[in-house]
Amino acid sequence: MQITRLKGANYIIPSFQYTNGIIPYKLYKPYQLYQLYKLLFFCIFAFYSTTKNMQLSEQERNRRESLEELRKMGIDPYPAEEFKTNVLSDEVLATFDDEKKNYQDVVMAGRIMSRRIMGKASFAEIQDSAGRIQIYVTRDDICPGENKDFYNVIFKRHLDIGDFIGVKGFVFRTQMGEITVHVRELKILSKSLHPLPVVKEKEGKVYDAFSDPEMRYRQRYVDLIVNPQVKETFRKRTMLIQSMRELFNSRGYLEVETPILQPIPGGAAARPFVTYHNTLNMKLYLRIANELYLKKLIVGGYEGVYEFSKDFRNEGMDRQHNPEFTVMEIYVAYKDYNWMMEFVEEMFEKVALDLHGKTLIPYGDIEIEFKKPYPRITMLDAIKKYSGYDISGMSEDRLREICDKLDIEHDPSMGKGKLIDQIFKEKCEQHFVQPTFVTDYPIEMSPLVKKHRKNPELTERFELIINGEEMCNAYSELNDPIDQLERFKEQLKLSEKGDDEAMFIDMDFVHALEYGMPPTSGLGVGIDRLTMLMTNQPSIQDVLFFPQMRPEGREQGAGGREHRDEFLELGVPEEWIEPLIALGYDTVEKLKEVEKPGKLHQQMMGYRKKNKLEIDTVTLEQVTEWLQ
RNA sequence: GAUUCAGUAGCUCAGUUGGCAGAGCACAUCCCUUUUAAGGAUGGGGUCCUGGGUUCGAGACCCAGCUGGAUCACCA
């Protein structure tokens, strides 16, 4: 065997000829290689698409046939060039005037969402990014000449609900009073091969809504197409973030980015995701909070820094929790938690006004008033009020007794802080429906917070509770490096006790504090939960485009793919392998279990007919041979 | 992780004591020049989530599994 390298050739791949024991290698330049690979991928795709074709429903086959027909008629169903529109549907619907006769030359584009064909004239609705508008198409307008194929064949037969089209024409009002675009020219912009759910609406009542949560979350694009209110929810989510960003920027605070891959997952109490870096040969964690990094930037001298950050926590999933979620954290130098409470009031009021134009927002069966100021209550007062016990200064053992009396679960791994937290969550939290600041948390559950200026057992921390849920968490940040190290050590003891959410010690953070951090107040806001509240959505999945879901467990004939060669060895034509798998014979063994060749043969022919496959038939003799 | 409910046509859903797999919309064919979820007529379309079991017979009953929802636990 011999390989010669020719001048100018960069890559060597073998050609499949064999002569005299020498394998001649043909030499290709990169561009030629690219062409070859393109061909290879095309073949794989073609094979994939034909095999896929066999499992299509009738409606999907119809659309693929239409696609081919369009191509045969010289129409590109996926044209490349720009289609320049000059107006969106909502503007036309809002400002069309019968007297003024405006919009006499509109160009619009969108997806066909409904169609009613009546002889030479048709009505359809197209949906663009702003909404839906009716269009009116007549045969003689879009086919000015003798040939009426564009209307009779292309528009009536080969266009479907879901296709993107572009139209040029003028706006008028039908006899029924609906503002409509009279189409003079129509262009196909993109053919849709999969039928959409058809949702219909009359006088606010929705028929046949696409409502299965599993399908809505897995195929969010379909959800967005057919459920316009979903689009609006996500638009509000973006507005909410913009509204907050505006406030921060107007104060001169700097938006920053900090690492998601962290060697120490610090700044919160939660179980992290673990990953691995090959070059560094070490574990890295996906961040559970960005607090410590942002405070390092305050040490660095910025007045205020903030970040909208994706955090990752390896905990349970339900309608309030997704493994990845968004938090906004902001740190401002020379401020304390009292200042921060006022800042939060201002921020929430602004967000409510920017999104709704008012501060009283409906949520489920209740209404929430975001007008500032919000009431404040200390945690110990809250517990006294709702449980009847004054727990200030109590020992851990006394707290356990209280928990028993109140019928609250606890275990030995829980320290004083967690016990108090537990009592609060069980007995108090649900009572705070309207925005309420709960302040002055016990020191044991707040390792990053400055001690209270009046009571060393407490800290200068608050949470904003709305509808029984924590929306914000903020402190006067601890900036005493010696105290900070002690608190971390306490956390370490908790972790040895079995609390797997207790914090790690980040020595670099302590080191940063040793250089000196100005007095600082920090705040974290759960953006997903705030969005739920502000858009009146019951679950976090409704405010995340792509919530985490279990992968679908379809095996997709995986066994069959591996056993493809065995089928070939048996003499089964390649094009018949997929149909056999579809019929349930995904291994050669299963095939051989068939007792009567006639039965199998009939099944195969039946499948071919039913699915209108254009592949060669096999004879009963062939089938008999396979089974022997 | 526990409990519970659900999974039937492209979509929304019926399906009686266990007895031929159904409706509306969508789709196809034909008729019709302005319909307001739905103009008229006719027709095609199913792995009843998967795998076992009971039975002469299972979409339905039993067991196991998959996926999702709800509630609880953990967490924000």
Weakest mean pLDDT among A123-127, A397-401, A508-512: A397-401
Determine the protein residue whose CA lies at the shortest distance from the C1' of B39: A118
Determine the protein residue whose CA lies at the shortest distance from the C1' of B29: A157
Residue keyed to tokens 């997929």 = A578
Determine the protein residue whose CA lies at the shortest distance from the C1' of B30: A119
Query: Nearest nucleotide to A58 by CA–C1' distance?
Result: B45
Q: How confident is the model at residue A13 (pLDDT cuts 50, 70, 90)?
A: very low
pLDDT tens string A449-479: 999 999 998 999 999 999 988 899 999 999 9
Protein-to-nucleotide distance from the CA of A149 to the C1' of B44, whole angstroms: 26
Protein-to-nucleotide distance from the CA of A259 to the C1' of B5, whole angstroms: 43
More confident residue, A172 or A31: A172
Residue A179 and residue A133 in contact, taking contact as beta carbons nearer than 8 Å: yes
Query: A187: closest CA among A204, A166, A173?
Result: A166
Residue keyed to tokens 């028929």 = A207
Query: Nearest nucleotide to A114 by CA–C1' distance?
Result: B26
User: What span, in angstroms and rounded, lies between the C-alpha atoms of A580 and A571?
Assistant: 13
Determine the protein residue whose CA lies at the shortest distance from the C1' of B10: A195
- A562: exposed, middle or buried (Cβ count in 10 Å: 0-12, 13-18, 19+): exposed
Asked if pLDDT for residue A628 goes beyond 80, the answer is: no
Residue A163 and residue A188 in contact, taking contact as beta carbons nearer than 8 Å: yes
Asked if pLDDT for residue A105 goes beyond 90, the answer is: yes
User: What span, in angstroms and rounded, lies between the C-alpha atoms of A19 and A258?
Assistant: 61
DSSP annotation of A153 reads: I
Protein-to-nucleotide distance from the CA of A596 to the C1' of B62, whole angstroms: 32
DSSP tally for chain A: helices H, then strands E: 23, 22
Query: Nearest nucleotide to A551 by CA–C1' distance?
Result: B67
Query: Nearest nucleotide to A524 by CA–C1' distance?
Result: B76
What DSSP string describes A445-489? G-TTBPBPSS-TTBBSEEEEEETTEEEEEEEEBP--HHHHHHHHH
Residue A77 and residue A87 in contact, taking contact as beta carbons nearer than 8 Å: no
User: What span, in angstroms and rounded, lies between the C-alpha atoms of A326 and A459?
Assistant: 26
Q: In what order do the strands lie in the sheet with A282-286?
A: A261-262, A282-286, A274-277
Asked if pLDDT for residue A6 goes beyond 50, the answer is: no
User: How high is the pLDDT of residue A309?
Assistant: 94
Q: How confident is the model at residue A530 (pLDDT cuts 50, 70, 90)?
A: very high
Weakest mean pLDDT among A346-355, A491-500, A543-552, A554-563: A554-563
Asked if pLDDT for residue A108 goes beyond 90, the answer is: yes
Residue A475 and residue A449 in contact, taking contact as beta carbons nearer than 8 Å: yes
Asked if pLDDT for residue A38 goes beyond 90, the answer is: no
pLDDT, average across residues A228-242:
94
Please list, in sequence order, all residues whose beta carbon lies within 8 angstroms of the beta carbon of residue A118, skipping any fewer than 6 positions away: none
The three-point CA angle A279-A283-A286 to 5° equals: 110
User: What span, in angstroms and rounded, lies between the C-alpha atoms of A14 and A25?
Assistant: 5
Query: A324: closest CA among A269, A264, A260?
Result: A260
Query: A368: closest CA among A138, A194, A529?
Result: A529
DSSP annotation of A108 reads: E
Protein-to-nucleotide distance from the CA of A557 to the C1' of B72, whole angstroms: 37
User: How high is the pLDDT of residue A143?
Assistant: 86
Residue A444 and residue A458 in contact, taking contact as beta carbons nearer than 8 Å: no
Residue A86 and residue A107 in contact, taking contact as beta carbons nearer than 8 Å: yes
Query: Nearest nucleotide to A117 by CA–C1' distance?
Result: B35
Query: Nearest nucleotide to A196 by CA–C1' distance?
Result: B10
Q: How confident is the model at residue A484 (pLDDT cuts 50, 70, 90)?
A: very high
Asked if pLDDT for residue A405 goes beyond 60, the answer is: yes
Determine the protein residue whose CA lies at the shortest distance from the C1' of B6: A212
pLDDT tens string A557-611: 333 344 556 666 677 766 666 666 555 555 566 566 555 565 566 556 655 555 5
User: How high is the pLDDT of residue A52?
Assistant: 38
pLDDT tens string A136-166: 999 888 888 878 888 888 898 899 999 999 9
Protein-to-nucleotide distance from the CA of A261 to the C1' of B14, whole angstroms: 53
User: What span, in angstroms and rounded, lies between the C-alpha atoms of A282 and A491?
Assistant: 23
Count CB atoms within 10 A of the CB of residue A188: 19
Query: Nearest nucleotide to A202 by CA–C1' distance?
Result: B37
Burial of A286-318, coded b for 16+ CB within 10 Å and e otherwise, reads: bbbbbbbbbbbbbbeebebbbbbbebbbeeeee
Protein-to-nucleotide distance from the CA of A65 to the C1' of B40, whole angstroms: 28
User: How high is the pLDDT of residue A36?
Assistant: 38
How many Cα neighbours within 13 Å face the side chain of A415? 20
Protein-to-nucleotide distance from the CA of A190 to the C1' of B68, whole angstroms: 33
pLDDT, average across residues A293-314:
96
Protein-to-nucleotide distance from the CA of A600 to the C1' of B56, whole angstroms: 26
Protein-to-nucleotide distance from the CA of A553 to the C1' of B64, whole angstroms: 16
Query: Nearest nucleotide to A548 by CA–C1' distance?
Result: B68
Determine the protein residue whose CA lies at the shortest distance from the C1' of B75: A315
What pTM does this model have?
A: 0.79
Mean pLDDT of chain A: 82
Count CB atoms within 10 A of the CB of residue A384: 16
Residue A123 and residue A116 in contact, taking contact as beta carbons nearer than 8 Å: yes
C-alpha A281: how far from its chain's center?
32
Protein-to-nucleotide distance from the CA of A377 to the C1' of B11, whole angstroms: 51
User: How high is the pLDDT of residue A54?
Assistant: 46
How many Cα neighbours within 13 Å face the side chain of A97? 4
Weakest mean pLDDT among A195-199, A284-288, A603-607: A603-607
Determine the protein residue whose CA lies at the shortest distance from the C1' of B46: A57
pLDDT, average across residues A256-269:
91
| CB-contacted nucleotides of strand B (7 Å) | 1, 9-13, 24-29, 31-39, 44-47, 51, 66-76
Weakest mean pLDDT among A106-120, A251-265, A387-401, A609-623: A609-623
User: How high is the pLDDT of residue A500?
Assistant: 61
Protein-to-nucleotide distance from the CA of A584 to the C1' of B57, whole angstroms: 24
Protein-to-nucleotide distance from the CA of A32 to the C1' of B12, whole angstroms: 53
Query: A472: closest CA among A394, A600, A370, A549?
Result: A370
Query: Nearest nucleotide to A119 by CA–C1' distance?
Result: B32
Please list, in sequence order, all residues whose beta carbon lies within 8 angstroms of the beta carbon of residue A133, skipping any fewer than 6 positions away: A89, A92, A93, A108, A110, A125, A126, A179, A180, A181
User: What span, in angstroms and rounded, lies between the C-alpha atoms of A168 and A570?
Assistant: 59
DSSP annotation of A145 reads: S
Residue A305 and residue A251 in contact, taking contact as beta carbons nearer than 8 Å: no
- A223: exposed, middle or buried (Cβ count in 10 Å: 0-12, 13-18, 19+): buried
pLDDT, average across residues A250-254:
97
- A51: exposed, middle or buried (Cβ count in 10 Å: 0-12, 13-18, 19+): middle
Q: A409-412 long-range contacts, Cβ below 8 Å, gap at least 24?
A: A412/A497, A412/A498
Q: How confident is the model at residue A312 (pLDDT cuts 50, 70, 90)?
A: very high
Protein-to-nucleotide distance from the CA of A316 to the C1' of B60, whole angstroms: 35
Query: Nearest nucleotide to A529 by CA–C1' distance?
Result: B76
pLDDT tens string A535-545: 999 899 999 99
**What element of type H or E holds A203?**
none
